[in-house]
Structures are given as structure tokens and as C-alpha cells.
């Protein structure tokens, strides 16, 4: 079942749709439900296939920070 995704062009929901349709696993339905839940949580979440599995990432702007300064966290 295709998942509606209003993210920018860096996301690849068509790839994930194709991957999920071919997935032969006893928990495939659960994986699809988790996928829908993750994508419904925020429109800034994108998806693609990485390491032979669906991967999710943030597509919005990020506040600059210094990774060496723990006070920014």
C-alpha cells in the first residue's frame, strides 16, 4: 500500500513502496504499519532504502550547533 508523503525530492517513497511489496517476511504487515506511523508523526520525515531496509531521516532545516559543545544539546 503506498504511503502518502509530502516531503521534498530527496525522499524516495517509491523505492520503499517497491521494497515493501516484495518483502516476504512474517512481520511484513507490522513493518508497514510502523512505517505509516513514523511518516504520519511529522511531515519533515523522509524515507529511502539503505542497507537493504527502509531508513527514515529528517528533511527540515537544522539549527547550527557545535558538536564539541555539550551546552548546545
pLDDT, one tens digit per residue, over 8-52 is 446 789 999 999 999 999 999 999 999 999 999 999 999 999 999
Number of H-type helices and E-type strands within the chain = 2, 2
pLDDT for position 31: 95
C-alpha cell at 70: 555539550
Backbone CA torsion sign across 67, 69, 72, 73: positive
Dihedral sign for Cα atoms in the order 37, 39, 45, 50: positive
Amino acid at each position: 500500500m503506498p504511503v502518502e508523503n509530502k516531503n521534498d525530492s530527496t525522499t524516495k517513497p517509491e523505492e520503499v513502496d517497491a521494497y515493501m511489496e516484495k518483502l516476504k517476511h512474517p512481520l511484513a504487515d507490522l513493518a508497514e504499519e510502523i512505517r505509516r506511523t513514523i511518516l504520519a508523526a511529522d511531515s519533515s520525515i523522509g524515507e529511502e532504502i539503505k542497507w537493504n531496509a527502509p531508513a527514515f531521516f529528517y528533511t527540515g532545516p537544522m539549527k547550527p550547533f557545535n558538536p564539541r559543545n555539550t551546552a548546545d544539546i
